[in-house]
């Protein structure tokens, strides 16, 4: 039986994405009802972090505990990986100890190499290319508030980063139109864009962020300066016109939602008035990381 990895949205069938989202909603309902549900009893997840995290660390660790398993937190400083052991050898060793591996890393190539040599499922907790666990939480949150994404318009404003790339990759699978407005030098991955358009994704790049937001059902942004970026000052200057503020939100539909994967820098990429306002669903979005990741874990370990 082949290993089920959760690394790139574009490699996962739309039907599987749908089943994961439906399972996440069921798991959330069980938790709210106080129901104990432990399908991963006796299972261990290795959680390997090159990059720090609040939501990824806590949601995966709590998720494994609630499903009856155990999450093992590891950084490269805790492992021989930080002292020169290869990714391939690390994958081979971890596969003998644990039932799945979650990796949050800088280079996407590290994820690919890990998956090539691991004999257990590998989950992308974030890479410089994509952030599929976050996107699944975003989809779940939208559906809870507004129903199906089919035929809806999502507006991405700001840096064309890994989260933006994942919205691009999922466009054809979820049936939404994606309007993107970024500075030309911070445009999303052209390869991901070409692949998504080839598969039928309705994606439009626009210079004007206000035009991108026009008629949107959802406006999304992300921090302008990520861990590892060394050009903070120039990025902030470049991205100032792309701030999500009340003026920009007026171009979206009156009932449009606002999302941000967090952590947020208020008064940079988004104003406090927006992120703390009535249209913001960022806290539901953050909570839903727990529920979708529990569903992803079950899907990867074939516990569905």
258-302 pLDDT per residue, tens? 999 999 999 999 999 999 999 999 999 999 999 999 999 999 999
Span 200-230, pLDDT tens digits: 999 999 999 999 999 999 999 999 987 666 6
How far apart are the C-alpha atoms of 50 and 222, rounded to whole Å? 20
**Fold of the domain built from segment(s) 134-285:** Rossmann fold (3.40.50)
Q: Is 134-285 in the same CATH topology as 9-131+289-300?
A: yes
CB atoms within 10 A of CB 201: 23
**What are φ and ψ of residue 153, in 5° steps?**
-115, 125
State the pLDDT at residue 68.
98
| 96 band by pLDDT with thresholds 50, 70 and 90 | very high
Q: What is the mean pLDDT of residues 94-98?
A: 98
Task: For 128, list phi and psi in degrees, rounded to 5.
Answer: -70, -15
Closest CA to 295 of 68, 101, 63, 69: 63
Ordered by start, the domain boundaries in the chain are: 9-131+289-300, 134-285
Nearest-angstrom CA–CA distance, 216 and 174: 16
Q: What is the mean pLDDT of residues 247-260?
A: 98
Give every CB contact of residue 179 below 8 A, 6+ residues apart in sequence: 153, 154, 155, 156, 204, 206, 211, 212, 213, 214, 216
Could you give the count of Cα atoms lying within 13 Å of 171 in the half-sphere of its Cβ?
Answer: 27
At 115-139, the pLDDT tens digits run: 999 999 999 999 999 999 999 999 9
The confidence score (pLDDT) of residue 83 equals 82
Query: How many CB atoms lie under 10 A from the CB of residue 11?
Result: 11
- The whole-number pLDDT of residue 148 equals 98
Question: At CA 99, angle to CA 94 and CA 101, rounded to 5?
Answer: 60
- Residue range 160-182: mean pLDDT, rounded: 97
- Tell whether the model's pLDDT for residue 22 goes beyond 70: yes
Q: Cis omega before residue 263 (within 30°)?
A: yes
pLDDT band of residue 72 (cuts 50, 70, 90) is: very high
Q: How far is CA 273 from CA 208, 247, 258, 276, in A?
A: 22, 11, 11, 6
pLDDT higher than 70, residue 59: yes
What's the confidence (pLDDT) of residue 227?
63
The whole-angstrom separation of Cα 230 and Cα 215 is 35
Active site residues: 104, 131, 134, 222, 261, 289
- Confidence class of residue 33 from pLDDT cuts 50, 70 and 90? very high
pLDDT at 174: 97
Q: How far is CA 71 from CA 82, 93, 212, 267, in A?
A: 20, 17, 40, 36
Distances in Å between the Cα of 138 and the Cα atoms of 1, 8, 282, 284, 289 are 31, 16, 9, 9, 8
Domain 9-131+289-300: CATH class, spelled out: alpha beta
What does R_g of the chain's alpha carbons equal in angstroms?
19
Retrieve residue 153's tokens: 């318009």
Partnered with residue 266 across adjacent β-strands are: 270
The helix-helix angle for 282-300 and 132-146 (nearest 10°) equals 120
**Ramachandran class of 158: left when φ > 0, alpha when ψ lies in -120 to 50, beta otherwise:** left
* 23 pLDDT higher than 80: yes
């Amino acid at each position: 039986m082949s290993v089920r990895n959760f690394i790139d949205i574009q490699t996962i069938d739309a039907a599987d994405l749908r089943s994961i989202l439906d399972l996440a909603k069921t798991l959330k309902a069980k938790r709210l009802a106080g129901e104990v549900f432990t399908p991963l009893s006796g299972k261990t997840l290795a959680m390997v972090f090159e990059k720090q995290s609040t939501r990824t660390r806590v949601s995966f660790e709590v998720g494994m505990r609630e499903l009856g398993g155990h999450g093992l937190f590891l950084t490269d400083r805790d492992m021989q990986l930080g002292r020169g052991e290869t990714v391939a050898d690390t994958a081979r060793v971890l596969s003998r100890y644990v039932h799945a591996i979650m990796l949050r890393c800088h280079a996407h190539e590290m994820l690919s190499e890990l998956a090539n040599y691991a004999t257990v499922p590998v989950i992308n907790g974030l890479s410089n290319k994509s952030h599929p666990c976050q996107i699944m939480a975003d989809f779940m949150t939208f559906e809870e508030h507004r129903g199906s994404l089919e035929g809806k318009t999502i507006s991405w404003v700001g840096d064309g980063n890994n989260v933006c790339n994942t919205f691009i990759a999922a466009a054809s699978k979820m049936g939404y139109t994606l309007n993107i407005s970024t500075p030309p030098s911070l445009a999303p991955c052209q390869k991901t864009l070409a692949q998504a358009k080839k598969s039928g994704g309705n994606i439009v790049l626009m210079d004007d962020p206000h035009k991108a937001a026009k008629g949107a059902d959802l406006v999304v942004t992300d921090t302008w300066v990520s861990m590892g970026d060394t050009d903070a000052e120039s990025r902030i200057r470049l991205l100032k016109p792309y701030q999500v503020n009340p003026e920009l939100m007026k171009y979206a539909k009156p009932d449009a939602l606002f999302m941000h994967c967090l952590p947020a820098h208020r008064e940079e990429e988004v104003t406090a008035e927006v992120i703390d306002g009535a249209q913001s669903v960022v806290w539901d979005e953050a909570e839903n990381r727990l529920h979708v990741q529990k569903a992803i874990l079950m899907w990867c370990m074939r516990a569905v």
